[in-house]
Homo-oligomer: A and B are copies of this chain.
Amino acid sequence: MNSGADLLEQRKARAKAWFEELRDRVCARFEALEDQYDGQQADWPPGRFERSSWKRPADTGSPEGSDDAIDSGGGITSVMRGRVFEKVGVNVSTVYGRFDPAFAKQVEGAEEDPRFWASGISVVAHMQSPHVPAVHMNTRHLVTTKAWFGGGADLTPMTDAEKDTEDFHAALKDACDRHDAAWYPRYRKWCDEYFYLPHRSEPRGAGGIFYDHHDSGDWDADFSFTREVGLAFLRIYPQIVERRMHLPWTQAEREHQLIRRGRYVEFNLLYDRGTHFGLKTGGNTDAILMSLPPVVRWP
């Protein structure tokens, strides 16, 4: 192994280890919120994460495609159904192999060589209380003949939550600004454009940041940025939950929340590229659709 290949393997290992560390820290922080809770439904037991793992099937397009024993990676899904978090999924996965030839053409750096490696973390939380915003955070590292980071975080308040939205954006802006003052406005705009439902003429939520193909030429700085996005999420979202979870809510507010969740489903199934990519390339259906809310209404 030459030193270039060595460095690449070290970077993959560092990225994967970070996504797993962040998973552990997010899960621990969310379980602590379950323990702290003293509002409506406080007689329910505090939720705990349950883990299950899945293996990625071998690529049918690869020369080794017929051999089931080929290791193509997989993931671990952590799900908690609690008294604060109605349903929260934290997925980490590290998968590798060869893209399908037709698909490879659409992926940066895979046009000539379809081999890829991808690792990431994805968090989606749907809350019991309509006063606590739902949230999504995802960061990932992709390696083809090129290498880049992608991800973001966005907040979906169900009731008025101006201060929550401001604080959420401020935390992400801070993570961006440590690196480059140009990134936050660019990635905030990308988020607003991406999480939009044209058939409703509505944004999915209150925005956040969204980035992809992030490669500044300095891998360590880019990795540091991706870690900071995760840390900003880990700092600000539990603060928002803590501040709002004890507020009582009415049946009408709950109904409104269940209807707003329908928009979340519409976005994820009609438009979300990650969902379509995953479902159409043999990803793990349960892990991918973990993002769907536990109860939804279309009245």
State the A residues within 8 Å of B (CB).
Answer: 81, 87, 198-200, 258, 262, 265-266, 269-270, 276, 279-280, 285, 288-289, 292-299
Contacts and interface: CB of A to CB of B under 8 A. Distances in A.
B279 A269 contact: no
B285 A292 contact: no
A2 B81 CA distance: 69
A128 to B, nearest CB: 14
A204 B280 CA distance: 17
Given A270-B269, A279-B270, A292-B262, A200 B298 contact: no
Contact of A293 (B270, B276, B298): B298
Nearest to A270: B269
A266 B266 CA distance: 9
A287 to B, nearest CB: 11
A269 B263 CA distance: 12
Copies in the complex: 2
30 contacts: A81-B299, A87-B298, A87-B299, A198-B279, A199-B279, A199-B285, A199-B288, A200-B285, A258-B295, A262-B292, A265-B265, A265-B269, A265-B296, A266-B269, A269-B270, A270-B270, A270-B276, A270-B279, A289-B298, A292-B298, A293-B298, A294-B297, A294-B298, A294-B299, A295-B295, A295-B296, A295-B297, A296-B296, A296-B297, A296-B298
A199 B289 CA distance: 10
Contacts of A266: 269, 289
A206 to B, nearest CB: 22
A3 B269 CA distance: 48
A171 B221 CA distance: 67
A299 B290 CA distance: 9
Contacts of A279: 198-199, 270
A209 B186 CA distance: 49
A94 to B, nearest CB: 21
Contacts of A200: 285
A276 B258 CA distance: 23
Given A81-B299, A198-B279, A294-B299, 20 more contacts: A87-B298, A87-B299, A199-B279, A199-B280, A262-B292, A265-B269, A265-B296, A266-B289, A269-B269, A269-B270, A270-B270, A289-B298, A292-B298, A293-B298, A294-B297, A294-B298, A295-B295, A295-B296, A296-B296, A296-B297
A294 B296 CA distance: 8
A299 B296 CA distance: 11
Contacts of A297: 294-296
